[in-house]
Amino acid sequence: MKHFSSMFKKNQTVTINGVSYSGNNVVISSNNIIVDGDIVGNVAEAKIINVVINGDAEEVTTVSGNITVNGNASDVSSTSGDIKCGDVSGNVQSTSGDVSAKTIMGKVKTISGDISC
């Protein structure tokens, strides 16, 4: 099961639970952290996954965990976790979590959480 995935136009730095990784595509699947197709870490012992992206992101998705994008994003979604981002050119969706962004050009939805723009 994928817990987190992100895609970038160019190489970006992503910090997952305090450890930084650089690449164009970062995924957490079956507790493995995968950067550009290579397994580089593991989150099996983590109770909460915190992801910080330093730069712009095309797409960011997480099943469970908080997302912070220190830059802009096209689309961001989280099933369970807070979302903080700069400008979002597309949509933002959170089932259970707060959404905070500078501006959101598309739709924004949260079932259980606050929205601030």
Residue pLDDT, tens place only, 19-75? 999 998 899 999 999 999 999 999 988 888 999 999 999 889 998 889 999 999 999
> Going by C-beta distance under 8 Å and a sequence separation of 6 or more, which residues neighbour residue 45?
none
Lowest mean pLDDT among 6-10, 15-19, 96-100: 6-10
Collapsed DSSP state (helix, strand, coil) of residue 114: coil
State the pTM of this model.
Answer: 0.89
Q: Please name the residue that has the structure tokens 């712009």.
A: 56
Q: The tokens of 63 are what?
A: 């099943």
Read off the pLDDT of residues 61-114 as tens digits, 9 standing for 90 and up: 998 889 999 999 999 999 999 999 999 999 999 999 999 999 999 999 999 999
CA distance 18 to 72: 21
Q: What does the pLDDT read at residue 2?
A: 60
